[in-house]
Amino acid sequence: GNFLFLGDYVDRGCNGPEVVAYLLAQKLLAPTKWFLLRGNHEIRSNNGVVHPAGFKGQCFSRFGQPEGLVVWEEVNKVFDRLPLAALVRDEIFCCHGGPPRPINRPDPNTSNGGEASAGTRLAALRQVPVPFDPDDTEWAHTPMQPAIACHPR
């Protein structure tokens, strides 16, 4: 069988970096069997909060301050290239249910009580990077060493 994951690989426990490393390793080993979609936590504004239980904080605790920031940024570059939706057997539409934060942020420049306009929400969607181009020369394999430690609560 094949596997389709709908997102939120990080910010769901104390092993975000390990979960991402495992899923990406599986995708590399069996690219036609493993499919990863982008959820709302695969966006920097959601996973970039420096908190011990958050993905960025976990990267810092595993790899140290300068290297952790590099790991966090490089993983987010991978997230930037994940597709937002998939179609299974030309019948079943699959996507993550949580929108990224900028779509629901109130627009202080509106006269309707701060609710974001459709144009503002559409502009926010257009800022989400598109899935990667396989001919893109920037796409490279960066070795990552898995960490075993879990941040204490």
Enzyme catalytic residues = 41
- DSSP E strands in 3-133: the ranges are 3-5, 34-36, 85-88, 92-95
Burial class (CB in 10 A: 0-12, 13-18, 19+), 108: exposed
113: left (phi over 0), alpha (psi -120 to 50) or beta: left
